[in-house]
Structure 1
Amino acid sequence: MAMTAVARETVFALRRQIAKIEGTLPERLQAPAGAASDDGMADADRTVVRRGIAVARPDAFLRTGVGRLDALLGGHLGDDLGGGLPKAALNEIHGVETRDAGAVAGFALSLASLILKPSLILKQGSRLPVLWIGTQGVFREAGFPYARGLHAAFGIEPEQLLFSEAPRLADALWVAEEAARMTALAAVILEVRGNPQRLDLTATRRLHARAQSAGRPVFLLRQAAEPEPTAAPVRLIVSPAPAGPRDTVAGPLAGSIGRPAFTISIGKSRTALPGQFILEWNPDERVFDERKIGERRIGERRAGEERAKNPVPVVSLYSGRTDPAAAPGAVVAFPAVGSPAAGDQPSRQQRAAHLSPRRAG
C-alpha cells in the first residue's frame, strides 16, 4: 500500500509539472490514497487542485454527444453528463496524410455546427460567424468548403463562415492570434500543413492563452502532420471512414451511400487514455452517432446475403475455353436517322472537306 501511494503521488507530481509547462486551467483530482488528513476529512472526500483543463461549469465543454468519447476527452469516466472538448482552449485536429484533409475539414465543420447550434446571436440579431484562416498553399491543396453544402450538411449559412487567406504562415499566425481574442467570433479555425518550425510551443501557448481569455475555441487543423509538443490540451487524429448503407424504413439499403463517417483517435487528452471511435454525422439532426466497429461487418454480410438472393446476370469469366460466353439476352438495333445505306461511301469531295482543318469564327 505504501508503494502504491508513493507511485500515485509521483504520477500526480509529474502531471502537475506537465500542466505547468503547458499552461492549462485548474483541474480537480482525487487526493492520493492514504494522504495525511489534518482536518479529519475522509480521503475519498478530499480533492486537490492542479493545473489542468477541467472546469466546474458544464457549459465549458463542447460535447460531441457520444458519451464514451466525451468521457475520455475529459469528463468523469462513466458519467455522460460531463466531458467533451474544452471551449475556451486550443484543440488540435490532425490528418496523418494529405488526402485526409477533406475528413479533417468535415470534422471541423461538424464541430462548428455544434457550436452554432445553440444559436449564438448578437444584439443586432445576426449570428456569430466562424473565421477560417489558412495560407495560399493550404487552400490550393485542400480547397474551400462548398458554400451550398454548408447549410445542407451542417446548418451553417455561407455568411457565417469567413475566410482569411494569408500569403505566409507568419501572417496566418498573426491573424489567428488577433482573432482568438475577439468575442465577436463563435470560433477560430487555423489550418496549416506539416510541422512548420514557426508553429512551436510558444506560438501555441499564445493561441491557447487568448482562447482562454476570450472564452472561444480555437481549432488547429494540421495536414500531414506528426505529433509534437504543443499547448493544446486535446489532440484528435481524424481519418475518413467508409460510409455505411443508407437507412430506410425497410432497413439498410444495400449498395447505397449513407451518412459521412470519421475515424477518430485520441492522441492527447486530459485523462491520457487512448481510444478510437467511428462517428457518423447526422446532417438532419446535426449530431454525432457512434458506429460500432462490428456493425459495418454485419451490414456487409447482410448486403452479401441480399446479392446472393437476387443475383445479377453477368458475362461469365474467361477460363481458357474455346466456346464464347452465352449471349446476355435479345439485342434490338435501331437504324440511325439519316444514316447512309449499307455499302454507301462518301464521295472524294466530301471526304476531303471532312478531313480539312476548320477555322474558328
Structure 2
Amino acid sequence: MATSAVARDVVFALRQKIAKIEGTLAERLEAPVEASQPSGLLVRRNGVASARDFFLPTGVERLDETLGGGLPKAALTEIHGTQTRNAGAAAGLALCLVSLMLKACQKPGALVLWIGTAEIFREAGLPYAAGLNWLFGLAPERLLIAEAPKPSDALWIAEEAARIDEIAAVIVELRGNPRGLDLTATRRLHRRAQEAGRPVLLLRQSAAPEPTAAPVRLIVTPAPASLRRTIAGPLAGSIGPPAVSVEIGKSRTALPGKFILEWNPNAHVLEERRDSPENRVAVVSPSRGRADSAAAAGTVLAFRPATDPAPGDQPSREQRPAHRRPRRAG
C-alpha cells in the first residue's frame, strides 16, 4: 500500500510538471474532494474555486465552450495576424479582450501597457487615442505605450511590467518571426504571467506559425461588416459594427472552431454573428465617381494551329534571335 501511494504521488508530481510546461492548469488533475461535488468546479488544495477565477469569458457562448470556459486570466495568450494589412483586425480584437478584462478586474485606475518595436509601429501604426474611450471604454490616459528598439527588449519590458500591480494587462506586439521569440522566451513570459496573476497578450503580425508556450492561439483576419440593424430591419447601404474572423489555432481543449465576432461599442461586449451573404457588405467598398468597369471577358476559343508565314512576314536578319541565325560556313 505504501509503495502504491508513493507511486501515485510521483505520477501526480510528473503530471503537474507537464501541465506547467504545457501551460494548462494543474488544478484540473486533482480529484474532487467529495463525490457529490459538481464537475464544473476546479478543485484547489486550499478549497474550491469556480471556473471564473481562472478564465475570462468572452461573452460568446459557443466560443467559451470550445475554449473550455474562456481565455485564461493569468497566462500568455497569442493573437496571430497572418498579414501586416490585417494588423487593425488583430489589434482590435486585443482591445476588445482588454476591455472585457478591465470590466472584470474592477480596478478604476488600472493601466494597460502596449509594447512594440519601432518597426511594428511604423508598419501597423499606433492605437488611436480619440477612439479608445468610445469604442472600448478605455480612457487614453490609461494606455501606456512603450517603444523598444529590438524584439528582445520588448520581451524584457513585458516580463518586468507583468510584476507591476497597477498594470492590469500587457500587450506585446511584434512583427514577423524574430530570432529571440522562441519557445524558451514565450515559456518565460507565460510563467511570469502566471506568477503575477494577470494576462499577457502576444500580438503577432505577419508571422509564420511556430510553437510557443501560449496555451491559447487565436488566428484573426478581417470579416465583412454586416448591415446596421434597426427596428424595421437591416438598413440598406449601411455599415454595422466592426467584425473579425477568429479561428482557434491552439487551445487546452484542442477543439477547432471558427467564429465571426462583432464588437458592440455601446455595450462593450462581443457577439457572435451567424454569417449570411445577404446581410453583409464588402470589406472595402467600390470606388465612386469613375467610369464603368470593363465588361466580363467572353468565351475563350482555342487558337488556330500555327502555319508557315507568308514570305513578306519573315523577320529580317537583324530581328532573328542569335541562336536561330544561320551559321557561317568555313
The TM-score with structure 2 as length reference comes to: 0.73
Q: Please list the CA deviations of residues 67-123 of structure 1 after superposition, one character each: whole Å capped at 9, or x if unmatched.
A: 11011112xxxxxxxx100010000000011111110000000111111124633xx
Residue 5 of structure 1: aligned partner: none
C-alpha distance in 2 between matches for 1:64 and 1:92: 15
C-alpha distance in 1 between matches for 2:15 and 2:220: 26
1:223 to 177, 200, 205: 205
Tell me the secondary structure at the aligned position of residue 264 of structure 1.
Answer: strand
Bigger relative contact order (CA 8 A; separation at least 6): 2
Please tell me whether residue 60 in structure 1 is matched to residue 42 in structure 2.
Answer: no
1:225 is displaced (CA, Å) by 1.3
Cα 1:318–1:219, aligned 2, differ >3 Å: closer, same or farther? closer
Residue 238 of structure 2: aligned partner: 256
C-alpha distance in 2 between matches for 1:261 and 1:23: 29
Residue 189 of structure 1: aligned partner: 171
- Indicate conservation of the 8 Å contact 1:120/1:127, yes or no: no
Q: In the TM superposition, what are the counterparts of 1:197-236 in structure 2 within 5 Å?
A: 197-236=179-218
Residue 122 of structure 2: aligned partner: 140
Q: Please list the CA deviations of residues 310-352 of structure 1 after superposition, one character each: whole Å capped at 9, or x if unmatched.
A: xxxx99x999xxxxxxxxxxxxxxxxxxxxxxxxxxxxxxxxx
1:69 to 54, 63, 69: 63
C-alpha distance in 2 between matches for 1:142 and 1:223: 9
1:202 is displaced (CA, Å) by 1.2
Residue 285 of structure 1: aligned partner: 267
- Indicate conservation of the 8 Å contact 1:246/1:253, yes or no: yes
Q: Which amino acid aligns with 1:26?
A: A
Q: In the TM superposition, what are the counterparts of 1:293-304 in structure 2 within 5 Å?
A: 293=275, 296-299=276-279
- Indicate conservation of the 8 Å contact 2:75/2:193, yes or no: yes
- Indicate conservation of the 8 Å contact 1:22/1:230, yes or no: no
C-alpha distance in 1 between matches for 2:157 and 2:272: 35
C-alpha distance in 2 between matches for 1:140 and 1:286: 29
1:17 is displaced (CA, Å) by 8.2
Moved more, 18-27 or 167-176: 18-27
Tell me the secondary structure at the aligned position of residue 72 of structure 1.
Answer: helix
Tell me the secondary structure at the aligned position of residue 182 of structure 1.
Answer: coil
Structure 1: gaps spanning 5 or more residues: 1-13, 32-40, 50-54, 75-82, 302-313, 320-361
Please tell me whether residue 176 in structure 1 is matched to residue 158 in structure 2.
Answer: yes
Residue 111 of structure 1: aligned partner: 97
Cα 1:97–1:62, aligned 2, differ >3 Å: closer, same or farther? same
Q: In the TM superposition, what are the counterparts of 1:1-150 in structure 2 within 5 Å?
A: 19=19, 21-28=21-28, 56-74=50-68, 83-118=69-104, 120-121=106-107, 126-150=108-132
1:169 is displaced (CA, Å) by 1.3
Residue 79 of structure 1: aligned partner: none
Tell me the secondary structure at the aligned position of residue 152 of structure 1.
Answer: helix
Q: Which amino acid aligns with 2:262?
A: E
Q: Which amino acid aligns with 2:21?
A: I
Q: Which amino acid aligns with 2:223?
A: A
C-alpha distance in 1 between matches for 2:280 and 2:153: 48
Residue 319 of structure 2: aligned partner: none
Residue 158 of structure 1: aligned partner: 140
Moved more, 175-184 or 266-275: 175-184
Tell me the secondary structure at the aligned position of residue 28 of structure 2.
Answer: strand
Structure 2: gaps spanning 5 or more residues: 1-13, 44-48, 282-290, 297-330
Q: How many residue pairs align between the two structures?
A: 270
Cα 1:203–1:146, aligned 2, differ >3 Å: closer, same or farther? same
The runs of at least 4 aligned residues of structure 1 exceeding 4 Å deviation read 14-18
1:300 is displaced (CA, Å) by 5.6
1:56 is displaced (CA, Å) by 4.3
The TM-score with structure 1 as length reference comes to: 0.67
- Indicate conservation of the 8 Å contact 1:113/1:154, yes or no: yes
- Indicate conservation of the 8 Å contact 1:246/1:256, yes or no: yes
C-alpha distance in 1 between matches for 2:257 and 2:201: 20
Q: What value does the CA root-mean-square deviation take over the aligned residues?
A: 3.4
Q: Please list the CA deviations of residues 186-240 of structure 1 after superposition, one character each: whole Å capped at 9, or x if unmatched.
A: 1000001111120111111111111111111000000011222211110000111
Cα 1:189–1:249, aligned 2, differ >3 Å: closer, same or farther? same
